[in-house]
Structure 1
């Protein structure tokens, strides 16, 4: 199969994923493609044949990745990219793609990106978390496993700021997912690998670009975390993500990027600067699709003291509903009581 044929074949797979309302498409060497719909994997067995490893490799090198991304793939075994085709009804099908090596050769994981940014109300983002958008400085961390909707939650929060406030928003993403239309805000969206060489360099540069609000797509190293905490303490509203199951794990994961000699220092800085840590997961909805459950930890004197004391395991004892907080169990119970999920 030629590189063009590989592209045409993959474009048809993406078209099918879009038409079936799938969220992800997985292409691995020698097996039938698989899509994820409403959280469940479905094999596209009606297709004539799986793609061979050399066909996937041709698409990656000839169509998907630029020179810098190809070097990243060769160096680390994986690379992120963006990709877009047009649907039969004339709409852009935008994707976040990870190309990677596995035991059978090359593989691709596509995440389809919605063109429309849903509202905070549609996502059922808890009111106290929505209210964070009115703050002028501090850090907001959205955490959860891959595919839990973190990016969509952040996009909804930023778009609400965009609609309400004449501020400068800078996003540093890899790749850019939701594309914002400027409303009251000025928005500068920068893509790692295209517009800046790393999250850290993009963040450092952003501090010279007169931002009010900064989105860091992911914090992956100690220097980025240190710079982000400093930005949050010095007059910027900073949004970012981590990969953890709950707020306690998010705190521990952030601290573990640093040597033990700095753990107390980082806990103090986090306690001083954080506004909220929200963990989320997507659950099957009774009406089809999925609905998000949120754990919300807010900054209070009690929660800040617990973070400083290195006793994060006690944090849930201080997550009081009358202060706007809720545990994941409470959120799931609320969804059941509203008959939004089974159980």
Structure 2
């Protein structure tokens, strides 16, 4: 049975239609901040679930999600066929009535929005959890059952999506909560039981100053051609920063911008630019098909999302070489270490040519990490490392001296570059973050301690 917190909640199903976008009225209450422990949400009858701090789960290395195969598709554009299937299709007899899963799902998302959480994580056997300012908080409701989570999947997904999930054990999709907010959702099986991870995405595209990003990124955004990479771990705000840069271009240049996303996160409205956003599984089968079609779409600026394999990065660097401005993200632990991550995507016999392409076409690498602040009105703030492709940087890349690029960054602050340690020092000195937070974020704590003491 579902937890008592869902009893008598009205099913917010206005405008619901299976197999299409779902849009819902905005919550009647504005978001509220929590202090040490959240105990209630004002204005909600019955009370929305309370939250409790929970221990952070042990993190394991992420596996890149598999791509949708480029074969036959269903009416939603999601392929359902035989390769990459799980060992046995999911087969569970759902006993909870239809519609109850949607009611629970909407309640969880509503709570996520009210507490200004960035993420919702749900698994069988425990209460749903929210990530608020980087920390997990548990809702004080009864643990979710396997049956409830299967009912959620059945109610939220259309029949073809549910079949895809049943055959493969995982599906990515975007869920429109209302006109301003959507969720990027991964529904997956774990130890034979369903689980969900959802990230809140708002339609509000923030400006550089709202995100505490330096003005130099505006100059980088206005480049006529080249490759701009954001690196960092999942949840470090890379997509948000890129959206801000694309909006900066949108407000200033008459260009054609094409984005390839899985799923679309921020919705852009044309200003000076013309923008076309393509979603994998709906507008195109997969990244490779979308990238091959780019040339025929005549873009000036391209967003290719996460570069996790050879094909995507090769297509991106070739697009940059042929005169396009290309934005992308990659997982790496610093700006200068991003090169090693890129080279690992390519066979050894192609790396020398790749090095030349990067030397002449790279515009910037921005490493970003979000840190909790000392201010209640600022949730998290980015610590940055910025590498710009100056003649000195280009020379080091061509000479295969990428490991020495941190020295160039340290010597080029006047040109807009910044190393991660300097970024942390500034955030501490300007009282945005606590010194302990900075020390926990840096790979060089002793160097940071000396810098904070004024010893360089």
With normalisation by structure 2, the TM-score equals 0.71
Q: Map residues 282-301 of structure 1 onto 2, 5 A cutoff.
A: 282-288=370-376, 289-301=379-391
Q: Which residue is 1:6 aligned to?
A: 101
The answer to whether structure 1 residue 308 and structure 2 residue 398 are counterparts is yes
2:368 corresponds, among 280, 283, 303, to: 280
Taking structure 1 as reference, are residues 11 and 162 closer, same or farther at Cα in structure 2, changes over 3 Å only?
same
**Alpha-carbon distance between aligned partners in 2 of 1:303 and 1:82, rounded to the nearest angstrom:** 39
Aligned residues: 336
Give the Å deviation of 1:61: 4.0
Q: Which residue is 1:325 aligned to?
A: 417
1:55 corresponds, among 148, 167, 173, to: 148
More divergent stretch after superposition (209-218 vs 100-109): 100-109
Q: Which residue is 2:207 aligned to?
A: 119
SS of equivalent to 1:139: strand
Give the Å deviation of 1:72: 6.7
Unpaired segments ≥5 residues, structure 1: none
Offset from partner CA, 1:180-205 (integer Å, 9 cap, x none): 11111100000011101112221221
Q: Map residues 32-181 of structure 1 onto 2, 5 A cutoff.
A: 32-45=127-140, 47=141, 49-64=142-157, 67=160, 70-71=163-164, 74-75=167-168, 77-86=169-178, 92-103=180-191, 105-181=193-269
Give the Å deviation of 1:59: 2.4
More divergent stretch after superposition (59-68 vs 188-197): 59-68
**Alpha-carbon distance between aligned partners in 2 of 1:258 and 1:184, rounded to the nearest angstrom:** 37
Offset from partner CA, 1:239-274 (integer Å, 9 cap, x none): 011111211332111111111121222122112211
**Alpha-carbon distance between aligned partners in 2 of 1:3 and 1:241, rounded to the nearest angstrom:** 39
The question of whether the paired residues in 1 share the 8 Å contact of 2:261 and 2:279 is answered with yes
Give the Å deviation of 1:104: 5.0
Q: Which has the higher strand share?
A: 1
Q: Which runs of 4+ in 1 moved over 4 A?
A: none
The question of whether the paired residues in 2 share the 8 Å contact of 1:69 and 1:81 is answered with no
**Which structure has the greater CA radius of gyration?**
2
The question of whether the paired residues in 2 share the 8 Å contact of 1:126 and 1:294 is answered with no
**Alpha-carbon distance between aligned partners in 2 of 1:3 and 1:107, rounded to the nearest angstrom:** 19
The question of whether the paired residues in 2 share the 8 Å contact of 1:199 and 1:219 is answered with no
With normalisation by structure 1, the TM-score equals 0.93
**Alpha-carbon distance between aligned partners in 2 of 1:234 and 1:221, rounded to the nearest angstrom:** 20
